[in-house]
């Protein structure tokens, strides 16, 4: 006759012994550090405390990530504005350069005419 394991005993098929037949909140486990047997206890209060702790840790991490995202967005906007300003300055410089070259050509042509007339 074959023994049938309850559904909760199939979580770790490599674990042997009668503790695999116990409900998960009453199983006896081995401590991985020193090999001592430790009884697992289900404590909803500690689970709630652990959930709250994880929530606080995750919340502060999420706040930091949000701050970094905001700073990056502000930096992107600053760089975009500076890029537009530099483009306007370059366009202004190009226009001024063309105007000054035209003025130099007019002066040069006037001096040449004045020199030839002497």
pTM over the 0.75 mark: no
Is there a domain that residue 1 lies in?
no
Is there a domain that residue 2 lies in?
no
pLDDT, residue 75, reads 97
Q: Which domain holds residue 102?
A: 43-118
Tokens for 46? 């500690």
In this structure, are 37 and 85 located in the same domain? no
How many domains does the structure of the chain reveal? Answer: 2
pLDDT, residue 29, reads 57
**What is the distance between the alpha carbons of residues 110 and 104, in angstroms, rounded to a whole number?**
10
- Report residue 107 CA to chain centroid gap: 61
pLDDT, residue 21, reads 64
Q: How far is CA 17 from CA 14, 71, 115, in A?
A: 10, 57, 116
* DSSP 8-state class, residue 17: S
pLDDT along the chain (118 residues), means of 10: 53 57 60 56 67 81 92 97 97 96 93 80
């Amino acid at each position: 006759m074959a023994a049938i394991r309850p559904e909760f005993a199939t979580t770790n098929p490599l674990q042997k012994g009668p503790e695999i037949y116990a409900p998960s909140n009453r199983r006896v486990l081995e401590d991985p550090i020193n090999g001592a047997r430790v009884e697992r206890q289900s404590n909803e209060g500690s689970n709630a405390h652990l959930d709250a702790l994880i929530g606080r840790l995750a919340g502060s991490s999420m706040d930091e990530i949000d701050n970094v995202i905001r700073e990056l967005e502000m930096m992107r906007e600053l760089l975009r504005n500076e890029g537009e300003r530099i483009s306007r300055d370059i366009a202004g410089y190009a226009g001024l350069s063309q105007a000054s070259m035209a003025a130099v050509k007019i002066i040069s042509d006037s001096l040449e005419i004045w020199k030839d007339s002497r």
